Chains A and B, each alone.
Chain A
Amino acid sequence: MLKLLKEIFRTGEATVKYPFAPMPVCKDFRGKPEHKAEDCIACAACTVACPANAIQMETDTAAGSRTWSINYGRCVFCGRCEESCPTGAIRLSDDFELAVGSKADLTRKAVFTLADCACCGKPFAPAKEVDYVARLLSQSARSAEEADRLRLTAATCPACKRAQDVHHIAGMGIARQMEAGLSKTGKPAKELETTP
């Protein structure tokens, strides 16, 4: 009996104090993915990476908006969104207290505006993404003219870019076309410049 009591005192209390005291979690705990909408450029990398489709995006070209949404009820806390995010806008946090009474409270949304193509004027990508890419590209530009051109390229939609390329290649003459086609990367020389 005394031996048992001694053993009990020696062991102490194993039960955690939670929920009366905060629960310490280990470093790099996989809790609720925290989305900082200010840093998000609505690039949809996380949407594609999310294996459970917890993160989804809906584009409404009529309203010129793209809505990012996460459903914490579907998230499996794998961290692939964090892995793929180019700006670090989404990151798994320490928060595990996610229980809710109504399902609607499990969703979080962020609405972004779409940018219009500089060429055809149709909305094609989130304005924040276009702006981010333009700044990133012009950061590594070698001259002011190149920076301007890169900015314009970033603000042009893929369809217009293709049309411009075709136009450009048609105007090049056959010898230069062959040369561009045979260059090491297989891309026209003009496009090479745009890739930093």
Chain B
Amino acid sequence: MNVPVDPKTLVAEMSPVSTSEQIATMKKALLKNIQRSAYVYRVDCGGCNGCEIEIFSSITPVFDAERFGIKVVASPRHADILLFTGAVTRSMRMPALRAYEAAPDPKIVVSYGACGCTGGIFHDLYCVWGGTDNIVPVDVYIPGCPPTPAATIHGFAVALGLLEQKLKAETHVEAAGETAALPHPDIPYALRVRLEREARRMAGYRQGRDIAEEFMALLEGHAHTPGSFSLSERMLEAIGEERDPRRAEIIGRLAEVVQQAIRGETP
């Protein structure tokens, strides 16, 4: 018989580990006068390994985290900082907790990557806890999928109290009468869509949009070039000036689209 099961009843609700006040003061003291290297132990709680690769690239000579005394160690018993990566799969929960318990107090817990912060792309999987902070108290979150080596170094600097965090929670409330501007009101809507579509088809959404924007600014005559007035002259000049042959081709194609529209042809 298939009785519908409430998934909540299948998951043991375990409260995350909490730290005592004494340990909190010890941690503050550690952060204030840490006069030595900070040893990092990496706990992989079931990530995709992208994060691990970036951690190792941040200890290469190019980013050289070791110049700040940050050293990756092989045992949690030597660690000051625990770096949790991955979305905490069910089977990695106990090993992660054991690593946490094995590290001597005071310890700093860093949640690394989108998976560590919130579960990331795996956040709603049946087999994950969805983030480090569901099992242990976290001091610093380093988002990114994976965080770049530079972001990793910034995160360590925030964890060690060397740099201030940049992000702040913000709420924008719509002002009365706030309106979004119509892009390029002088260009017919159908033509604008055609241009953007063609540019994106040829160059992808990022560069395609940028090229289409540039081209439409040109069409509207915002990019005045002295001496040339007619539309086709302006376009020819733009194509002639273009150093990159790929961009020149795309601009040429957009100019064709405009000519087609002027002649009243549908693509």
* Interface residues on chain B, number (Cβ under 8 Å): 58
Known: A74-B120, A76-B145, A87-B183. A97 touches B174 (CB 8 A): no
Stretch in B157-165, B222-230, B259-267 with 4+ CB within 8 Å of A: B157-165
A51 to B122, CA, bound (A): 10
Q: Is the CB of B62 within 8 A of A113?
A: no
> Which residues B198-238 have CB closer than 8 A to chain A?
205-207, 209
Residue of A82, A98, A131, A132 with highest tally of chain B CB at under 10 A: A98
Measured CB to CB, the closest approach of chain B to A72, in angstroms, equals: 5
A1 to B154, CA, bound (A): 37
Measured CB to CB, the closest approach of chain A to B27, in angstroms, equals: 12
Measured CB to CB, the closest approach of chain B to A169, in angstroms, equals: 28
Stretch in B10-18, B136-144, B245-253 with 4+ CB within 8 Å of A: B136-144
Contacts of B34 in A (CB 8 A): none
Does B170 belong to the interface (CB within 8 Å)? yes
Stretch in A12-20, A117-125, A152-160 with 4+ CB within 8 Å of B: A12-20
Using an 8 Å CB-CB cutoff, how does the interface string of A55-88 with B read, 1 for contact, 0 for none?
0000000000000000111111101001100011
Contacts of A23 in B (CB 8 A): 150
A111 to B174, CA, bound (A): 6
Contacts of B121 in A (CB 8 A): 51-52, 74, 76
Chain A contact residues (Cβ within 8 angstroms of B): what range? 35 or more
Residue of B123, B182, B207 near A74 (CB, 8 A) is: B123
Using an 8 Å CB-CB cutoff, how does the interface string of A149-170 with B read, 1 for contact, 0 for none?
0000000000000000000000
Does A28 belong to the interface (CB within 8 Å)? yes
Contacts of B117 in A (CB 8 A): 73-74, 103, 106
Q: Is the CB of A75 within 8 A of B165?
A: no
A105 to B140, CA, bound (A): 11
Q: Is the CB of B179 within 8 A of A128?
A: yes
Known: A98-B167, A110-B172. A76 touches B114 (CB 8 A): yes
Q: Is the CB of A74 within 8 A of B114?
A: yes
Q: Is the CB of B123 within 8 A of A99?
A: no
Q: Is the CB of A14 within 8 A of B169?
A: no
Stretch in A2-10, A37-45, A175-183, A186-194 with 4+ CB within 8 Å of B: A37-45
Measured CB to CB, the closest approach of chain B to A51, in angstroms, equals: 6
Residue of A98, A131, A132 near B143 (CB, 8 A) is: A98
Measured CB to CB, the closest approach of chain A to B107, in angstroms, equals: 15
Measured CB to CB, the closest approach of chain A to B133, in angstroms, equals: 7
A87 to B182, CA, bound (A): 8
Q: Please name the residue on chain B nearest to A74 by beta carbon.
A: B118
Does A144 belong to the interface (CB within 8 Å)? no
Contacts of A105 in B (CB 8 A): 165, 167-169
Using an 8 Å CB-CB cutoff, how does the interface string of B182-202 with A read, 1 for contact, 0 for none?
110100111000000000000
Residue of B117, B159, B163, B165 with highest tally of chain A CB at under 10 A: B117
Measured CB to CB, the closest approach of chain B to A30, in angstroms, equals: 9
Q: Is the CB of A99 within 8 A of B165?
A: yes
Q: Is the CB of B114 within 8 A of A101?
A: no
Q: Please name the residue on chain A nearest to B187 by beta carbon.
A: A139
Q: Please name the residue on chain A nearest to B158 by beta carbon.
A: A99
A173 to B173, CA, bound (A): 49
Contacts of A41 in B (CB 8 A): 180
Using an 8 Å CB-CB cutoff, how does the interface string of B111-150 with A read, 1 for contact, 0 for none?
0001001111101100000000100001111111101101
Measured CB to CB, the closest approach of chain A to B212, in angstroms, equals: 11
Does A104 belong to the interface (CB within 8 Å)? yes
Q: Is the CB of A196 within 8 A of B189?
A: yes
Q: Which 3 A-B pairs have the closest CB atoms?
A: A73-B117, A99-B155, A37-B172
Interface contacts beyond A38-B178, A87-B183: sample of 16 additional A-B pairs, CB < 8 Å, sorted by A: A16-B150, A53-B123, A74-B143, A75-B114, A82-B206, A88-B183, A96-B147, A96-B151, A98-B147, A99-B159, A100-B141, A101-B140, A105-B165, A108-B169, A109-B170, A111-B171
User: What are 12 sample pairs from A and B whose C-beta atoms fall under 8 A apart?
Assistant: A16-B63, A19-B154, A19-B162, A38-B180, A52-B121, A72-B143, A97-B151, A99-B140, A101-B140, A103-B117, A110-B173, A136-B182
